[in-house]
Structure 1
Amino acid sequence: MPVPTLRACALLAAGLAAPALALALDLRQAYEAAVAHDASIRAARAQADAQRERLPQALSQRLPQVALNATRNHNDLTTRSTDPLGQPRRWNNDYYSGSQALSLRQPLYRPGVSAQIAQARAQVEDSNALLERDEQSLVVRVGEAYFDALLARDQVALLQVQKASHLSQLDAARKSFAAGAGARTDIDEVQSRLDMTLAQELEVAQHVEFTQRRLEVLTGQGAAVLAGLDVQRFAPAPPQPARLEDWIARAEAASPELQALRAQREAAQLEVRKAEAGHLPTLDAVAQWSRSQSDSVTSIHSRHAHRSVGLQLNVPLYAGGVVSSQVRQALASEERAREALEAARRELGVRVHQEFRAMTEGVLRVRALEQAVRSAQQALHSNQKSLQAGTRTTLDVLQAEQQHMAALRDLAQARYRYLMGQLNLRSLVGEDRAGNVAGVNGWLVR
């Protein structure tokens, strides 16, 4: 009986995909499609665009403020009085009144505006860093969806090979039993394993459909055929640089998440300055031109024009303690932002350590499992030969075959986990997204 190998499983999967091989989707294409299609990343871009408008809004506080006001009224005046003889008199007077006023205000000294502009710049940096964090997160989300889909299809291929082997064993056991050389137990044991394999096949088929749907929702493209891992060329290597401390230092310097929190801390510090400016005076230059016509009952049909230029000083004296309260509030917010940054820095070090170990230990695990697959394959071959010689039972062969399939499955998981570790690690340190995807995509074959 032939021993199912990982190459045989790969060939089986490739054979199933052969009719649509030209349409195979690789990781780079999936990522590019997700960049254009994913709703959450489009929402993040829109949020960043909205936050960037804070800066021109703040800068506008330094520019002149010009306003024009105009009114036009129709007046119906009824007057009642008595003449010198005591007789009542009444007369009506209809007239139009109106006014126009043009005013200009140029801020000269407003310390709160300077703090507000600097704070707006920090908030724009925060929004840009948060967008970069979400963009980096998209790399990881696409990678997880893609490799989950590949692993599910690998499991289907393994189960199909295992099912074919069980069917072959079941046929041989029945023929041997009919010839009087076998035992009913052999048939029952193989039938039990076959039934379990069929049940697993149904479960895995559902998982394949789920992972395919997940990837299609993310990319907006069909994902029926995916580029698989080229196991012949796949050669995992430890991350470079090889020191964990170097990766942590790079992450602390370039992590989009930390950049966003640093910008938030700076914005909180500037909020303190802006609140303290509530105690300081402001100075504006003002100019006004106004014209009025029939502006009162005593000046009907008269016109007035007024022009003024000057300075306006505003000195806050007492506002009920609200400014002091705002300063205390801003100081507390600054403390919160500072501690949030420190907590995120520590957490980032733990995550970098986790992904760094996933790559370094992943190299050793892949090599160990490759050896385990070879050993399990040899053990299966030996048990099959021993069964033919009568020194092993069908149950021994079934157990050896189960170990072989488990080793193949674990090896596939280890390979994909290594690739995800690479995506995660480089994403945490803020490396170029397209380069990160291309580095992993190079191991795939369409």
Structure 2
Amino acid sequence: MNKRKGFAAIAVVVSMISGAAAQAETLSDALTAAYTNSGLLEQNRALLRAADENVAQAVAATLPVINWSMSASSSINNALPASQREATNTALAAISGSLTLYDGGSNRLAVDAQKELVLSTRQTLRDVEQDVLLRAVQAYMDVRRNQEFVQLRESNVRVITQEFRAAQDRFEVGEVTRTDVASAEARLAAARSLLAAAQGALVQSIEEYRAAVGRAPSNLATVSPAPVSQSVNEAKDFAVRNHPSVLEVQHSVAAAELNIRRGETAVIPTVSLSGSISTNQDSVEAGQIGIDVGGPIYAGGQIASVMRQLIASRDASRAGLHLTMTSVEQQVGNAYASLQIARAARQASDRQISAARVAFEGVREEATLGSRTTLEVLNAEQELLDAEASRISGQADEVIASYAVLSAMGLLTAEHLNLPVQQYDPSAYYNMVKDSPPLLSEQGRSLDRVLRAIGEE
């Protein structure tokens, strides 16, 4: 494909995207699609369900365990004469069971620790949701930004083309020199190059939109910045109490504390109940029941080492919590600063455009009277173009920064934004598995249906 065909293909894409559509696509539509189509959210929801199963497995350790076994064998005593050798056949069927009566609370602490990890994983899912939605906001605004850049560059090419033709006409009647014509021609070539770059950037932003939202953009509507009413300090205080990154680490610290308490039970004796019933090939039944009591006497320092390791892990989690809180506060401060910068840049560009437009129109009028050169007209037009480009970027940056503030505070969620989606309930699956239902129970069969339905989506 040569350059001309490549530019033609880009122009077709641009015209399809920037053309009028029957219905404008709003930012809420894009965020709804991003939430619904996100594979990253599906991945982390599956990880949360896996964490839920850890609770079920910990609960199972507190319940009775019942096993069955069957065995059969046949033997011949070769020490006997051949005439006396007979096969001896034996068979045995047995059912055995065991139940931990006392373990110093180890199993119960294990359940509580896994519950904390489930809560931590839920916060991870919330954080991923924020990332998905913020990426969609950025993709939406980048498409709008680049669409407007393309339109601006197209307008710029048209204006400079007119200036180039006017310079040629004035050169033919002797009003300007060859230098004026060459300046206009060079500026026209540069404008066309910038138009091609803007078209390429638009195509790239469309691909990012497709990846972030799950579909190609249509006619994107204008967007106002998200309302941000809190002060920086109020936002920081809110974030350190509610941001999913902070809550995630807090639950991890709680789990680490519970693991230390569980580790302390390693030296406590355990009491378990066991029993079995069996029958052999002669239908002779036998049964037994007993209580086992035991505990460690010497383990070569392993128990002490595990305890030190658990304490170190707890200390690391606590330090991680401090770092996370500091990072969240920094993110809030940075987001507010970015919002203020974008807002100031947009306001300044509005004033700059007004002044640059007056200057451009004046210089162009003076050029028709012969008191200005073509180069001066082109420079004035470039200043106006730069001002308009700054306003476009400022508007997009202000919207992105406002939603980044919500993300830094932990509020960029489908629930807070009131998106018209069926929100994922992280407790629904947990409530089905938390009691460790057996495979063949009604609840177990219900879980199988749920998992099959998830796999078919």
Q: TM-score range by the shorter chain?
A: 0.7 to 0.9
* 2:100 corresponds to: 107
* 2:39 corresponds to: 39
Q: 1:196 to 1:435 in 2, by over 3 A?
A: farther
* 2:295 corresponds to: 315
Cα drift, residue 142 of structure 1: 0.7
1:239 to 215, 225, 228: 228
* 2:268 corresponds to: 280
How many correspondences in the alignment? 406
Cα deviation, 1:276-296, whole Å, max 9, x if unaligned, reads: 221111111222223345xxx
8 Å Cα contact 1:366-1:414 kept in structure 2: yes
**Alignment partners' CA distance in 2, 1:18 and 1:254:** 40
8 Å Cα contact 1:290-1:305 kept in structure 2: yes
Cα deviation, 1:249-283, whole Å, max 9, x if unaligned, reads: 11111111111111111122222222222111111
Q: 1:330 to 1:195 in 2, by over 3 A?
A: same
Three-state SS of the structure 2 residue aligned to 1:258 is helix
* 2:448 corresponds to: none
Unaligned regions of 5+ residues in structure 2, if any?
1-12, 420-457
Q: Kindly indicate which of the two structures has a greater share of residues assigned to strand.
A: 1
1:393 to 356, 373, 377: 373
2:403 to 423, 426, 429: 423
Partner letter of residue 335 of structure 2? E
* 1:166 corresponds to: 160
Q: Which has the larger Rg?
A: 1
Is 1:379–2:359 an aligned residue pair? Answer: yes
1:403 to 370, 375, 383: 383
Q: 1:132 to 1:237 in 2, by over 3 A?
A: closer
Is 1:356–2:336 an aligned residue pair? Answer: yes
Q: 1:410 to 1:38 in 2, by over 3 A?
A: same
Q: 1:419 to 1:29 in 2, by over 3 A?
A: same
Answer with 93-102 or 334-343: which moved more. Answer: 93-102
Answer with 307-316 or 358-367: which moved more. Answer: 358-367
Is 1:326–2:314 an aligned residue pair? Answer: no
* 2:430 corresponds to: none
Identity of aligned residues (%): 21
8 Å Cα contact 2:96-2:277 kept in structure 1: yes
Q: 1:377 to 1:206 in 2, by over 3 A?
A: same
After TM superposition, the score normalised by the length of structure 1 is 0.85
Q: 1:187 to 1:139 in 2, by over 3 A?
A: same
Q: 1:432 to 1:162 in 2, by over 3 A?
A: closer
* 1:71 corresponds to: 71
Q: 1:130 to 1:17 in 2, by over 3 A?
A: closer
8 Å Cα contact 2:336-2:401 kept in structure 1: yes
* 2:3 corresponds to: none
Partner letter of residue 153 of structure 2? L
* 1:61 corresponds to: 61
**Alignment partners' CA distance in 1, 2:150 and 2:101:** 73
* 1:132 corresponds to: 126
**Alignment partners' CA distance in 2, 1:73 and 1:21:** 79
**Alignment partners' CA distance in 1, 2:301 and 2:262:** 16
**Alignment partners' CA distance in 2, 1:437 and 1:400:** 43
Is 1:365–2:354 an aligned residue pair? Answer: no
8 Å Cα contact 2:275-2:289 kept in structure 1: yes
Cα drift, residue 24 of structure 1: 4.2
Is 1:252–2:240 an aligned residue pair? Answer: yes
Cα drift, residue 414 of structure 1: 1.1
Three-state SS of the structure 1 residue aligned to 2:76 is strand
Q: 1:23 to 1:96 in 2, by over 3 A?
A: farther
**Alignment partners' CA distance in 2, 1:336 and 1:394:** 68
Cα drift, residue 18 of structure 1: 7.2
**Alignment partners' CA distance in 2, 1:239 and 1:359:** 10
Cα drift, residue 238 of structure 1: 7.5
